[in-house]
Chain A
Amino acid sequence: MGLALLVGISATFREPDHLTRITQKNRPGGDMQWCFSQVKGAIDDDVAEADIISTVEFNHTGELLATGDKGGRVVIFQQEVEIKSRFVSQNKNLPQFRSEYNVYSTFQSHEPEFDYLKSLEIEEKINKIRWLPQKNAAQFLLSTNDKTIKLWKISERDKRPEGYNLKEEDGRYRDPNTITSLRCLKVAFLLQVPVLIPMDLMVEASPRRVFSNAHTYHINSVSVNSDNETYLSADDLRINLWNLEITDRSFSVPIGDQNRNSCDIFSCCITPCCWRSLTARSSDIVDIKPANMEELTEVITAAEFHPHQCNTFVYSSSKGTIRLCDMRVSALCDKHSKLFEEPENPSNRSFFSEIISSISDVKFSHNGRYIMTRDYLSVKIWDLNMENRPVETYQVHEYLRSKLCSLYENDCIFDKFECCWNGNDSVVMTGSYNNFFRIFERGQRRDATLEASRENSKPLQVLKPRKVCTGGKRKKDEISVDSLDFNKKILHTAWHPQDNIIAVATTNNLYIFQDKVN
């Protein structure tokens, strides 16, 4: 019995959840075959600095994919699923489909600023975007640059009010004295109630909150709490806790004002909302600034809330340690509940040991039982119940260990790679150089190196695994370490929360790959 769902019909769906989940369950969890799906961004090799992608994030359903760039812009893509099924044979129980992400909304999130007190320019580059779980029809996200976090509301409008008669034909406002109600029919002019008529879908982004003046150092992380009421922001030395409480009393938007733009809203929304600091400025939950800055030995590099426990968060340091903190213990979480640290291998000691052990990203698994960290050469997975060493270590590009000197010279050693989990925590992914990215299947102990490039961009083209030759004779199709292009780096990657769809950002392009269905 075949599922003759849609024969010879192609339809566009907005909510493909039921289909995609079926796909996920049918998959035995075995090997994935990644296919090219889409690439977004300019084709030319001359990369404008403002176009450099600085963050990528799926929302909680995976329907929306947001990117931030160095120019302070946010671009949101929306998934639209196209079902292409001609004849459903008896061998195939499921239709083939592919998801396409198309531009949904684009807006300027941050502008360059100048701190006159310190004579410092504040970059508009978006460091992080984090989505809030959806509560109503609108979507909310937090975007941050080095100093300021903003809460954006993205809403759809597909109706507009029409039929106002506040104005004369020539556009002047009517004299209010001539406007009357139904009771008084002296003047044959009645105030009309406008009606809503359909219009083309318009997606609007408006800033609802601006959280500023809370960070002396550069913000590196933002994380929304599972209670959906608070979030944290972390800079080099401090972590702040904020309340998201959305009120629309700090500003008003006149209805029907066609000239309304986000700048007007912005100027009204000036009150930072740091719920701990109603009286004092000391609203930090972590502060590792030493009394004497000369004694500084480490900085905070990333922080994240536990996915389920709203009192727990972790932060990583430049020394390669991860601290887990419980906010119930004290207001200022200076004493960690747990400290995750692996002793250094003395045989690997070099000038650059401190640099390569600095953690660039930390991510909880979806089930909340593991932490994944990324340092320069490896990905480590830690069990929350074991502090003295990671349970798994994956080498991303060990062949670079002998090249650290040149990488220090060209500053590549300071690159901050991110990492991500797949939906069921069985696979992890991170980026590398030469537009390579690495996928590690935990259970199968299998790993793959894939490349995001325009050459492999034919529709549904299966990506061929790449191999780096570390020495000796170079085999065919292998690439030698010295031929790697260190300007082509993949720092930001994201995995769809439910499906095997990944978004990989090269310098200025966003690649979307899908696991080959069926």
Chain B
Amino acid sequence: MECAVDAQSLISMSLMKIHSSRTQRGGIKLHKNLLVSYVLRNARQLYIKEKYAEIYRMQQYEEVMAVCSGIQELDPLEPLEQQGAEDAEPEQPGRAALCGEESRAAGGREPEPPEPAYYRSCCMEDQFSQNCNKTTVLDLDTHVVTTVENGFLHQDCCCAAAAAAAPQCAPGAAARKRKVDSAGCSPDLEEPADYTAGRKRLKREECSGADCSPDASNISNLISIFGSGFSGLLSRQAELEQVCSKQALASLGAWTRAIVAF
């Protein structure tokens, strides 16, 4: 691939194209937007893979370092908790990388929640609560108007993918990576295909990059208009077996419906 442009700028470019198509004369062009959504999906797949690879590399490095230092310092008669505490150390950089600057290192280990496939990223909540509003969508053909309520972010694809694709990770690593905010948000057990999930994840990915886009507010507004998952794109692709990708794609909303409403 020739691209000097990285996946992240392709993602924002694609979103801007979809956004500007709303104001184009002649109405939204279904064909063009479908093609743009394919680019968006491809770019996101690559971005997620790269992101995960980076996390995995860092994790491997940290674990290796921890083992090395453990071998040097550890007295074989020390209690196990100490070992556990030191094991927790490498989690945090991974977690930070995952959650970006919004993640706050929780002091010590928190009780591991049960193994759901998704969690609520409450650290994001305050920032995006203004986007948690209702979206009205109009189907072009049936003229049925539905109101869809935004919810909260529900899953962390990278965690699940990390668990799936990196068997060498500690089995509990995925669980430990999840953050439960002390503000007391209860985990929401809505369906993984919730459209809001990937939407906010997308936002988070973009902000966690080195160049947090100056038009983040535009993108978040754009994201807020996306509807339900674009699941049709998934089933056709063999490489979309990862849970991660599935959930990522859920963010590519039913823009054909949602956008019309505006």
Contacts and interface: CB of A to CB of B under 8 A. Distances in A.
A216 interface: yes
A355 B5 CA distance: 17
B228 interface: yes
A318 B43 CA distance: 19
Contacts of A216: 140-141
Contacts, number: 99
A318 B228 contact: no
A333 to B, nearest CB: 19
Given A123-B25, A403-B2, A414-B35, A297 B232 contact: yes
B27 A122 contact: yes
Given A216-B141, A351-B42, A296 B34 contact: yes
B251 to A, nearest CB: 12
A369 B177 CA distance: 61
Q: Which range holds the interface residue count of chain A?
A: 35 or more
A299 B30 contact: yes
Interface string A134-148: 000000000000100
Contact of A118 (B17, B27, B38): B27
A47 B141 CA distance: 37
Nearest to A301: B31
Interface in B171-198: none
A188 interface: no
A401 B2 CA distance: 9
A408 B12 CA distance: 13
Given A218-B30, A299-B31, A301-B31, A293 B139 contact: yes
Contacts of B43: 351
A361 to B, nearest CB: 13
A351 B228 CA distance: 23
Interface pairs A-B: 6 shortest CB-CB: A295-B232, A354-B38, A123-B26, A120-B27, A294-B254, A402-B2
30 contacts: A117-B143, A122-B27, A125-B26, A146-B26, A218-B31, A292-B232, A293-B139, A293-B254, A294-B229, A294-B232, A294-B254, A295-B231, A295-B232, A296-B232, A297-B34, A297-B232, A297-B233, A301-B31, A318-B31, A318-B34, A350-B1, A351-B1, A354-B35, A354-B39, A355-B39, A358-B35, A405-B4, A405-B5, A405-B10, A408-B39
Most buried by B among A118, A318, A408: A408
Given A297-B233, A358-B31, 12 more contacts: A218-B31, A293-B257, A294-B228, A294-B230, A297-B236, A350-B3, A350-B42, A351-B3, A351-B10, A358-B35, A402-B2, A404-B2
B13 A121 contact: no
Interface in A162-177: none
B44 to A, nearest CB: 10
A352 B7 CA distance: 12
Interface residues of B, number: 38
Interface in A290-348: 290, 292-299, 301, 318
A217 interface: yes
Contact of B38 (A120, A218, A237, A355): A355
A236 interface: yes
Contacts of B236: 297
Contacts of A318: 31, 34-35
A394 to B, nearest CB: 22
B109 interface: no
A455 interface: no
Contact of A351 (B39, B141, B227): B39
Interface string A103-126: 000000000000001101111010
Contacts of B5: 405, 409
Given A217-B30, A218-B30, A296 B3 contact: no
B256 interface: yes
A479 B180 CA distance: 60
B39 A290 contact: no
B134 interface: no
Nearest to A297: B232
Interface in A190-230: 216-218
A404 B43 CA distance: 14
A14 interface: no
B31 A236 contact: yes
A216 B27 CA distance: 11
B32 interface: yes
A474 to B, nearest CB: 20
Contacts of A236: 30-31
Contacts of A402: 2
Contact of B29 (A218, A358, A401): A218
Nearest to B260: A118
A405 B13 CA distance: 11
Contact of A352 (B39, B140, B141, B230): B39
